[in-house]
Structure 1
């Protein structure tokens, strides 16, 4: 898993007025919560957040959240709110995950290789499920799951049960759920 870090600052005030002032200063209000801790209000640099989200791209949004002098905390970006008209972020929710904590989350699935049905039969690969639900320890979270589609012919599907086995990762979706399909 590729770990990215973002710096955060604690914020004393909450509410729309103080959040508006933060945004005017080029910062984004945020909150971090976890199973064994009270929610903590934070603020992030808007430019640093934009760079982080671009770096994550279509991968699992696991980051190291560093605030103040404390140690970086492994967190999952649960929600990113955007302004409906402007190209700006208005709020971010992080869920902190402890070292030995089992988490359930959605992980992106990417196809690898060129399917035989695409290469030789004029088919097209269709992504049926962009993500799959998994359960694992925080240290085992994959950034994405790469599925080999080279053997698929027109009319074939690749199901959740055919995704690569990853040590410590359990797929929660139905085994017969299609992920990729080759169509004519």
Structure 2
């Protein structure tokens, strides 16, 4: 797993007025919470956060969160709120996870290869489930689930039970749930 780091600063004040001042300064209000941690109010640089999201792309949003002088902690970006018109970030939720704590996360699923049905039968690969729910330790969180679709013909689908087995990762979705299908 490729983990990226983002710097944060503690903030004393909460509420819409102080959040508005932060946004005017180019910062985004945030909160970090976890099972064994009291929620803490933070702020992150909006430009740095935008670059972080670009680097993450369509992969699992696991980051190292470094707040002020404290050690970096592993966190998952749980929610990002955006302004509807200005296309700016208004708030971020981080969930801190412990090294030995099992977490359930949604991992993006990507088809790999060109299916037989697409190549020979003029079919189209359809993504039925864009993400797959897994349970694992933070160190075992995969960046994405890459599924080989080369054997699929028109009318075939690839199910959760057919996804590659990854060490330390347990699929939480129903085994018969389709992930990819080839349709005409």
TM (normalized to structure 2)? 0.99
Where in structure 2 are the equivalents of 1:144-183 lying within 5 Å?
144-183=144-183
Map of 2:74 onto structure 1 = 74
5+ residue gaps, structure 2: none
Aligned partners of 1:68, 1:86: CA distance in 2, in Å? 29
Mapped to 2, the partners of 1:120 and 1:104 lie a distance apart of 38
User: Which residue pairs with 1:134 in the alignment?
Assistant: 134
Counterpart residue number, 2:105: 105
How much does 1:69 deviate?
Answer: 1.5
**Residue number in structure 1 paired with 2:45:** 45
Distance 1:176 1:3 in 2: 31
Structure 1 residue runs without a partner (length 5+): none
- Cα distance in structure 1, aligned partners of 2:53 and 2:75: 14
Q: Deviations over 1:126-156 (max 9, x none)?
A: 0000001110011100011000000111110
In structure 1, the residue matched to 2:10 is: 10
Write the distance in 1 (CA, Å) between the matches of 2:182 and 2:134. Answer: 24
Cα offset, 1:68, TM superposition: 1.2
For 2:79 and 2:44, locate their aligned partners in 1 and report how far apart those are by CA, in whole Å: 14
Q: Which residue of 2 aligns with 1:30?
A: 30
How far apart, CA to CA, are the structure 1 residues paired with 2:142 and 2:60?
A: 7
**CA distance, structure 1, for counterparts of residue 14 and residue 54 of structure 2:** 27
How much has 1:57 moved relative to structure 2?
Answer: 1.0
Quote the offset at 1:90 in angstroms: 0.2
Residues 82-101 of structure 1: pairs in structure 2 closer than 5 A: 82-101=82-101
Name the CA distance, whole Å, in 1 between partners of 2:27 and 2:125: 41
Cα distance in 1 for partners of 2:78, 2:149 equals: 30
SS at match of 2:107: strand
Question: Does residue 63 of structure 2 align to residue 58 of structure 1?
Answer: no
- State the distance in 1 between where 2:7 and 2:58 align: 21
CA-based RMSD of the aligned residues comes to 0.5
TM-score by length of 1: 0.99
Out of 63-72 and 161-170, give the one that drifted further. Answer: 63-72
